[in-house]
């Protein structure tokens, strides 16, 4: 994560911007609290920028606004093949079990199951279908 203001305390500014220009899909640009307040006043609802939009956004505002944004390298989570127990198709009807490339998301949606009598422990994690880039 980097601040993208250009000043004497940020020697890596040029290097960071060059990396973004070469591979913009590897980064995410986020507004900080100040920028969110400023955007709310201007009715600009976009808070996060990806890919080419990062470069366009950086060109739109000057150095005086850059301090209100942070640039982060995008996390690329691993994906695994797993069974999705049920899902709905576009018409809303249920489909059966299918084997799909998914990204596990361990967080507050995870569930731990246990059996006291035999000590067996299972867990369930929220997963979502892997996005193709």
Parse the chain into domains and list their residue ranges. Answer: 2-73, 80-129
CA 73, distance to chain mean position in Å, is 10
At 28, list the tokens.
Answer: 């995410």
For the chain, helix, strand, coil in percent to 5 are 25, 35, 40
Share of the chain above pLDDT 90, in %: 8
Read off the pLDDT band of 86 (50, 70, 90): low
Strands 80-84 and 87-88: unpaired
pLDDT at 24 over 80: yes
pLDDT score at 44: 59
pLDDT at 11 over 60: yes
What's the pTM?
A: 0.54
Q: Of 99, 100, 86, 88, whose CA–CA distance to 131 is shortest?
A: 100
DSSP-assigned letters across all residues of 99-130: EEEEEEE-STT-EEEE-TTT--EEEE-EEEEP
């Amino acid at each position: 994560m980097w601040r993208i203001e250009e000043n004497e305390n940020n020697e890596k500014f040029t290097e960071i911007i060059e990396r973004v220009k070469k591979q913009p899909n590897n980064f995410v640009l986020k507004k900080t609290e100040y920028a969110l307040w400023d955007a709310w006043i201007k009715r600009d609802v976009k808070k996060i920028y990806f890919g080419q939009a990062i470069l366009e956004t950086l060109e739109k505002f000057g150095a005086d606004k850059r301090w209100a944004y942070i640039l982060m390298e995008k996390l690329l989570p691993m994906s695994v093949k797993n069974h999705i127990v049920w899902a709905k198709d576009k018409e809303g009807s249920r489909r059966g079990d299918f084997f799909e490339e998914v990204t596990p998301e361990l967080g507050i949606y995870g569930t731990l199951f246990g059996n006291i009598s035999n000590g067996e422990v299972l867990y369930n994690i929220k997963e979502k279908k892997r996005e193709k880039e």
